Structure 1
Amino acid sequence: MAQDKIIGVDSTDVVKKLGCYFSCSVQMIAALERQIFDFLGYQWAPILANFLHIMAVILGIFGTIQYRSKYLIMYAVWLVLWVGWNAFIICFYLEVGHLSQDRDFIMTFNTSLHRSWWMENGPGCLVTPVMNSNLAPEDHHVITVTGCLLDYQYIEVVSSAMQIFLALFGFVYACYVSKVFMEEEDSFDFIGGFDSYGYQAPQKTSHLQLQPLYT
């Protein structure tokens, strides 16, 4: 009975676990894609955030493989922070409130004039250099970008919105799978060990004092 209890697997739990694998895999692909374009744009703050996100996704995958509910909880907590960061990115590019794209230090730590790789390489964009411009600082040049089918800020907004959607999807699966793991840990019985089926308490034997018999 105890062995059957341990080997039995709920097919619904297996589907949820596979869903967690799929969610983490898609997040990993999306994070690596975003990391590449942020590197091309020299956006150091997003690069750092993407690196932490990649590490958290690896932690979530490892927690799912190794049945570690604590790792999945840490992964889920990071996803909440990741949603907040991407919400800030959306507000930054849409210049919500007092946010402005002219503040280079927010994304590049004031080490570069680049804001987004898509600014010059968006779909349909035509880049024209402006020669002998007094507006360009030393070692930089001024360009004009025209003909873009979609402005770079909207590409960044769509990318962040996709990250938020994937994070919410992964958060739900991480919470469910970690809950399943914790329930299994609470109800786990060792095969042939101290469980309700295989363990029997040792019976106390009564010691009878022998008395001599006299005829």
Structure 2
Amino acid sequence: MGCCSARCMLILLCCLQLITTLERQVFDFLGYQWAPIMINFFHIIVVILGQFGVIQYRSRYVIMYLLWTLLWIGWNVFVSCLYLDLGGLSKDSDILSLGVSSHRSWWKDNGPGCESAGLPSAGWHDQQNPELTTVLSCWLEYQYIEVLHCIIQLLISVRGIKTLCFVVFKQSVESM
């Protein structure tokens, strides 16, 4: 195996996906967004299995990872459309929290350069209700940060699909 082979590239892409998905998972946990938490968790497991398949020449794991990557692309397109309010979707809906809680993206209140103002009464500052804080302005609005997460995942996934197809084809030719 050469240092610039398709398998090495795929292992690198898997590592990048793991790092970016773990980062995304942390912020989804902070925002109590349960649907992304579950899908990110499943994605992490499938990426690890895919990486194992690439390292151990297991075509079934690589094909499973390829199929999951197609679903992962669909998920990221859905989340992007949700945050950009495209296709009848609304970022203000409780789809991502599965209707369990009223929580939303962590970036909404804690984005880069966000200035927030609480209620003037000192008694309200002890409460942990996120609805009591008003965000005045941010350098970058939260929905664009979430879409950036999706774009990064999409770029890695599209590159990964190209490499996956090459690796699967090469492994099937070598096994003949």
TM above 0.5: yes
Q: 1:170-209 residue pairs with structure 2 within 5 A?
A: 170-186=160-176
* Corresponding letter in the other structure for 1:109: L
> In structure 2, what is the equivalent of residue 50 of structure 1?
40
The reply on whether 1:145 has 2:155 as its aligned counterpart is no
Indicate the larger mover: 46-55 or 93-102.
Answer: 93-102
Native 8 Å contact 2:7 2:55 kept in 1: no
> In structure 1, what is the equivalent of residue 158 of structure 2?
168
Q: Aligned with 1:166: secondary structure?
A: helix
The reply on whether 1:109 has 2:109 as its aligned counterpart is no
Question: 2:83 aligned to 81, 93, 100, which one?
Answer: 93
* Corresponding letter in the other structure for 1:116: S
Structure 1: 5+ residue stretches without partners:
1-8, 133-137, 187-215
Q: C-alpha separation between the residues in 1 aligned to 2:70 and 2:168?
A: 16
Q: C-alpha separation between the residues in 2 aligned to 1:185 and 1:97?
A: 45
Q: May I ask how many residue pairs the two structures share in their alignment?
A: 170
Normalising by the residue count of structure 2, what TM-score does the alignment of the two structures yield? 0.90
* CA spacing shift, 1:65–1:36, aligned 2, 3 Å: same
User: How far off is 1:97 after superposition?
Assistant: 2.5
Native 8 Å contact 2:59 2:171 kept in 1: yes
Q: C-alpha separation between the residues in 2 aligned to 1:47 and 1:67?
A: 30
Q: C-alpha separation between the residues in 2 aligned to 1:46 and 1:59?
A: 20
The reply on whether 1:120 has 2:109 as its aligned counterpart is yes
Deviations 1:29-88, CA, capped at 9 Å, x for gaps: 001000001000100000011011101110111001110111111101100000000000
The reply on whether 1:16 has 2:18 as its aligned counterpart is no
User: How far off is 1:181 after superposition?
Assistant: 1.2
Structure 1 residue ranges, 4+ long, deviating more than 4 angstroms after superposition: none
Q: Aligned with 2:96: secondary structure?
A: helix
* Corresponding letter in the other structure for 1:165: L
The reply on whether 1:36 has 2:26 as its aligned counterpart is yes
Q: C-alpha separation between the residues in 1 aligned to 2:22 and 2:93?
A: 26
Structure 2: 5+ residue stretches without partners:
122-126
Native 8 Å contact 1:72 1:175 kept in 2: no
More helix by share: 2
Deviations 1:116-146, CA, capped at 9 Å, x for gaps: 01011101101212357xxxxx973422102
- RMSD value over aligned CA atoms? 1.8
Q: C-alpha separation between the residues in 1 aligned to 2:78 and 2:50?
A: 24
Q: C-alpha separation between the residues in 2 aligned to 1:44 and 1:147?
A: 27
- The structure number with the bigger radius of gyration is 1
Aligned-pair identity (%): 46
Q: Aligned with 2:118: secondary structure?
A: strand
Q: C-alpha separation between the residues in 2 aligned to 1:151 and 1:39?
A: 19
* CA spacing shift, 1:98–1:131, aligned 2, 3 Å: farther
> In structure 2, what is the equivalent of residue 130 of structure 1?
119
Native 8 Å contact 1:125 1:147 kept in 2: yes
